[in-house]
Amino acid sequence: MKASESNKPLVFHTIAELRGWRSQVSGQVGFVPTMGALHEGHATLLRKLQGRCDHSVLSIFVNPTQFGPKEDFSKYPKTWEKDLQIAEEEKVSVVFAPTASEIFPDGYSTYVEETQLSGPLCGIFRPGHFRGVTTVVLKLFNLVQPDLALFGLKDAQQFFVLERMVRDLNLDLKIEGVPTVREPTGLALSSRNVYLTNEEREKAPLIYSTLCRIQDGLLKGEKISKMLEEGAVQLTQAGFQVQYLECRDLATFGSVQNLIQNDQGYLIAVSAYLGSTRLIDNVIINPTQSDGTR
Ligand code: AMP
């Protein structure tokens, strides 16, 4: 038997199975929640649990409550066999893949909402999105009872909203953000990149190069409004439909007019459609750490 064949993760589809397992294990439990269609970004999060936790849980759940009525819930990519293979390669102990009705049965009516950081950026263009995210992640935290949960900074606003939820609700776990994993072109890996046509794929890296140009300009003392405007024009001229391109203070997510030294740093975040695909990306400017991580 090959070594990998003996390392298959347990696969649970029900809360009862997961709870049964959780009640029997001891030691540190690490957790990476996902919507599946796994790629190297997800694999990196899983890899970062290794050595830090005795058991790792990967959830695969396309959460209906975080999609708007006109969004891509029903066509969200599904790659179950490949996901299981990645889970096995990354030494995942348990894959938890519940059905929608297992998590949100008929009559479900309880939601949790973060009310500050959820407001701007994606909060404006995806009303109810973060309420859906915080609700499902809190439920998953209750079920998995992790000691450590990892999230990607590709979805920076999501991470900071969840970090705030953990703090505000006194959840007994550590939550950490992991830097964005990118293609060599700079394009952030995303399950949604499969929607891009070949031509769009060639253009898509402009999102990140625009963010980097803005970051460089700001660090050289250029005006924020000028850099953001130029960036939006550049993206629009290349065929993107920009929803937002903004600089926000990481502590409050308040809009920023001038960079000043602060402890928390800044987020330059963008959301833009390329054809019918909505892409988001960001860079974090942290005056205390040059690699942009916190
Ligand atoms: P998703 O399946 O898109 O909901 O993502 C699940 C987790 O993987 C989230 O914490 C994401 O932020 C993270 N993630 C997705 N793409 C990347 C990436 N390119 N680099 C790092 N983390 C990522």
* Nearest CA owner, ligand 1 atom 11: 152
**Tokens 């029997």 sit at which residue?**
24
pLDDT of residue 257: 85
Distance CA 112, CA 135 (A): 5
Residue type, 66: Q
> Is the pTM value of this prediction over 0.75?
yes
Query: Annotated catalytic sites, by residue?
Result: 42
The answer to whether the CB of 10 falls within 8 A of the CB of 94 is yes
**Residues of the chain under the 70 pLDDT cut:** 1-6, 261, 287-294
The binding-site residues of ligand 1, defined as CB within 6 angstroms of any ligand atom, are 34-35, 41-42, 44-45, 151-152, 154-155, 178, 180-181, 188-191
pLDDT of residue 6: 61
Closest approach atom of ligand 1 to CA 181? 20
pLDDT of residue 258: 84
Tell which one of 122, 151, 155 to mutate to probe ligand 1, the residue whose CB is within 8 A of the most ligand atoms: 155
Distance CA 172, CA 74 (A): 34
